[in-house]
Amino acid sequence: MKNIIKEILLTEDQITARIKELGRMITEDYKGKNLMLVGILKGAVIFMAELAKNIDMPVLMDFMAVSSYGKSSTSTGIVRIVKDLDCSVEDKDILIVEDIIDTGLTLSYLTDNLKKRRAKSVKIVTLLDKPERRKTEVPVDYIGFKIPDEFVVGYGLDYAEQYRNLPYVAALKEGVYSSKTDNVVF
């Protein structure tokens, strides 16, 4: 697989060390609360598993899958729920677990959606953040790493459903992928 990788941006050691820190902060901040992690499939699966192991208190874990409406949706922000939660969020302290925040449109929609279902609180933790690409303000409470505007794969993130199982985060070689994230249906 190495031949498709341009550069490793974050090594496995860097990622696991940072997730330990995030886990400690979350454990501290959610003391006495009713924490429910909501992982966004499929990209957040590996991050969520590692994060959950580093949260030292009882947590509920559930998942949602969302998809954008067609290609233009990256700019309209209309999101469709493909798989909904199994558990109710009412009176729970929800922490949405995302792989990466890019335009912010997906998370902006999800935060509103979960608040409307009467969650007690809704916060966000993301492994990666590409602040340069933001189209809407969305408060992100915990960020693993800020990265430049490059298309990345690994640690859960895919290109055409591949490379999610890489244990690090890497940029793809030109040719495998041609820089414009807007042209890709995630």
Which residues of this chain interact with ligand 5GP, rule CB under 6 A?
Answer: 43, 98-106, 151-153, 157-159, 181, 186
- Nearest approach, Cβ of residue 117 and ligand 5GP (Å): 20
Query: Choosing from 93, 99, 102, 129, which is the catalytic residue?
Result: 102
Q: Does the active-site annotation cover 102? A: yes
Beta strands in 24-83 (DSSP E): 35-41, 60-68, 79-83
* 165, two tokens: 């199982």
Please report, for the chain, how many H helices and E strands are present, in that order. 4, 9
In the numeric block, the tokens 């279902």 are attached to: 117
Q: How far is the CB of 90 from ligand 5GP (least distance, A)?
A: 25
Compare residues 23 and 43 and give the one whose CB is closer to ligand 5GP. Answer: 43
The residue among 5 and 177 lying less far from Mg ion, judged by its C-beta, is 177
The SS3 assignment for 169 reads strand
Token representation of residue 138: 């969305």
How is residue 1 written in tokens?
């697989």
94 binds, among ligand 5GP, Mg ion, none (CB under 5 to 8 A by kind): none
Interface positions, 110-129, toward Mg ion (CB under 5 A): none
The alpha carbon of residue 16 and the mean position of all alpha carbons in its chain are separated, in whole angstroms, by 15
Nearer to Mg ion, 33 or 75 (CB): 75
Active site residues: 102
